[in-house]
Each structure stands twice: as C-alpha cells, then as structure tokens.
Amino acid sequence: MLKTKFTLLIIVVWIIMFCFPNDSEAATEKLSGADRYATSAIIAENGWKQSDYAILAYGKSFPDALIAAPLAKKYNAPILLTESNFVPKDTLNMIQQLKITHIIIIGGTGIISSSVENHLTSLGINTTRLYGQDKYETSIIVANHLDNVNQIAIVTDEDFADALSISPIAAKMNMPIILIPHNVLPDVVRGYVKTHGISKTYIIGVGSSLDKSLVNELPNVEQINGQDKYQRNLAVLDKFKSEMDLDTIYLTSGEYFDDGLSGCALASANCNPLLLVSENSVLQKNYLDEHEITKYNVVVLGGLVKEEATLASSSTTNYKEKTIRDVTNVAPQDITKIVFYDGRGGLNKPLTIEDKQDISKFMDYLDGYVLEKAKNPEPSTGWIHEAAFYMNDKEVMDITFVDPIIINKNYYTILKSTLDNKKIDTFLKSIDPTYVI
C-alpha cells in the first residue's frame, strides 16, 4: 500500500513538473503558411517592414538559399523562394509589400528560368543573377560579393543541416558558407582561399559529413564536430554562443529543408540560434538547461516542427514580448521624417517633423513601449494621433496611438509604458505653437 502511494506521488510530481507551464516557460510564436512559398513570405513579413533588396532562391533544393545567408545580411534582405518557371503568388505579394526594388537571383537559368527574371524586370525590379557552372562555383561567386573576407565556413553539399546551423554566425562574421563534396576540395575553392588570404577556416562535420583529409588542405582549421546533424548543430551553438543573441531561438525541422531556407536569413538578422529538431527536442532542451540558457522566446519556422519539439512545456501558444523596433525592424536613427495626423475631426492639419533632435526625442519615447501581439483583439474605435514614419521619403512604419496600439495594421497590447495622448499633444505643441490641444 505504501509503495502504491509513493508511486502515485511520483506520477503527480512528474505531471506538475512537465505538464503545466511555469515562469521560465518559453513563449512560442509560429511562422507557417500553406506551403513553403507562403511560409517564406510570412517569415519575410515577420522580419522586414521594408527592404530595397531580396534574395531569390529555388524553393525545391537547398544549396543556393543556404549559401546566401551572409549576402542577405549584407543587404539586410529576406530570402524568398520561387518555383523554377514562375514566381509564386505569395512571393510576388511580399516583393510588392516590402517595396523591393532589387532582387539577387541565386542560380543559373537551369535552376531559376529566364522567364522568372523577365517577369520581375517587367515589374520594374532590377535583377542580378549569381551562378557558376556547379553549386561549388556558385558558392564561391556568392562569396566574392562579400567584402573584406578573412574567414570561411566549409560544409558538405550533400545535406542542408550543417550550412543551416552555421548560417547565423557566418552572416554576423561576414563569413562565406562554401560547399564542397565530402572528400574533395574543388579547384575553385582552392583558388578562392589562396587569392583572398584566408586566415581562419571553420569546417563543420570532420569525420562525419566531411573527410578528415580535407583538414590539411585548408588554412588554420578549427573543427566543429558531432556524431550527427543535431549534435553538430548544438556544437555550433556551443562554439559561438557568446556571439549570439540568445533571447530568441529559432526552430526548424532537421529532416526537411523547406522552411529553414528563408528562416536562416531571419535568424541571421540578429544572430539568433537556429536549432534543428526531429521528433522531439530533448537533446536541445537538455543542452539549454545545462548551460543555464533559460530566458528565451521560441520562433517555430514552418509547419514541419512537431508540438513535442517546440521546447515549450505547454501546448498553449504565447506571444513574444517586443519593442516597437522589434516589431517593425526599423532602427530609430534611420527615421528622417515623421508626419502626425489628428483624428479629432480636423482640429489640426498634418504636422511634419524633420528636425533630427525632435525625431530622436520622439523615437526615444517610443522605445519605452514593450508590447505583445494582441490575442483576438477587438478593433479600436476612434483615435487622436496617427503617425507615419519615413526613411528618405519612403514610408517604413505607421502607428495609430490607441489601445491596443496599431502598428502596420497589426494590433499589440501595451505591457510596459502607458499610452499618453496628452504627452504626444504636448510634444507636438512644442514643435508648432499653433498646434491645438
């Protein structure tokens, strides 16, 4: 009888520990669409309000998109996916929504046809195509478009996992991701290393995905190894965790490459870890716990990551706390003009602010807001202040100051700071004494 009661107690404790959320539970956000192209567009929308550039890669193979992550970082560009012979509707819509004016196509016409390029040109978009005779040369041609390179990452061309794992830190360190066969160093890679005076080489997967003999052919090699793709993924995190922003962790499938293609650009934007998961995330959760990495939010990329692998202890989806700059991906110092509109029946005409000090003062005020995406928001009725924010005459952000606050047509609950229309009125009157409050 005593043994039965003890067993029941153990079961109850296990349920409390593992089946109910606690204060350290990771908040989870999911970026997923109906297919890989819709998911790619949703990922881009989450990371960019506006971008002059985008990288366009073929959606049904992995090499071209993955080697482009450092290039995407250079141009602050999303990676969007396309079919071989036409641009999917979701991709086209995102190109227009982000007001993209220049697209870098990765791969030759055998991968992405000239009809795609012609369609984009007909829309007034400038295109540049980067490609080589094979995927190895293409990775070198992409590498040649990065400036002041002195380090490289070498990965196998036979699987996507190692390239995906290294992509955020490669982007941060301006480090090309170079593809090679598992046991041969192509001449084009040798030539690049020699002409660029490479001083450091990171090789992912020596003894597993890449042959040991390659170590002697490259300069100043540091190996990042593991028995399988998941352990190598964590080995990359372990090596570079001090360089990464651990407040957000991106999860993608380690078995299917689809969603990681665009996700690597989003994770690279702030050098967040990109973890590969399979049926569950026990290995990844244990690593994070052992290294006392506990305060993070989780962004799940696509629909291929199972609920058991999301790192969260509850099936309830929460929403990550964000600042306005997180929501919009707009740096305050880049704003060159703000136009305020008054919603009180024409009481005031639109007021334009272009003075740098005045803009800085208001952006500092906005930085005090901490938000979370509103769950089932009720549309706000009536407003006093609305502001459009510009970078060099291009609108990049729109805010309606109501509660929940509306940012670029999305509703957010204000968690920290208080919506203060009187404060905004006072600020505007300090700019223009004729402003009526």
Tens-digit pLDDT profile for residues 270-283? 999 999 998 888 89
Structure tokens belonging to residue 343: 């919603």
At CA 154, angle to CA 275 and CA 210, rounded to 5? 90
The predicted model gives 319-348 an average pLDDT of 82
CA distance 351 to 88: 40
Helices (H), 49-110: 63-67, 69-74, 89-97
How does pLDDT run across 115-171, given as a tens digit for each residue? 999 999 999 999 999 999 999 999 999 999 999 999 999 999 988 999 999 999 999
Mean pLDDT of 190-218: 94
The pair of structure tokens assigned to 391 is 């970078």
Indicate if the pLDDT at residue 241 is higher than 80: yes
Length of the chain, in residues? 437
Q: What is the pLDDT of residue 6?
A: 44
Q: Residue 242, Cβ neighbours under 10 Å: how many?
A: 6
The domain segmentation of the chain, as residue ranges, is 27-318, 324-431
Peptide bond into 219 cis (omega under 30): no
Going by pLDDT thresholds of 50, 70 and 90, the confidence category of residue 83 is very high
Reply yes or no on whether the pLDDT at 9 is more than 60.
no
Residue 17, pLDDT > 60, answer no
Whole-angstrom distance, CA of residue 179 vs CA of residue 163: 8
Residue 296 CA to residue 361 CA, distance in Å, equals 30
14 pLDDT higher than 70? no
Confidence of residue 312 (pLDDT cuts 50, 70, 90): low
Secondary structure of residue 221 in the 3-state scheme: strand
Q: Which CATH class is domain 324-431?
A: alpha beta
* Percentage of the chain lying above the pLDDT 70 cut: 91
For residue 62, the model assigns a pLDDT of 85
Q: 69 pLDDT exceeds 50?
A: yes
CA distance 366 to 362: 6
Distance of CA 420 to the CA centre of its chain: 32
For residue 322, CA distances in Å to 106, 128, 247, 326 come to 33, 35, 11, 6
How far apart (Å, rounded) are the C-alpha atoms in residues 421 and 402?
9
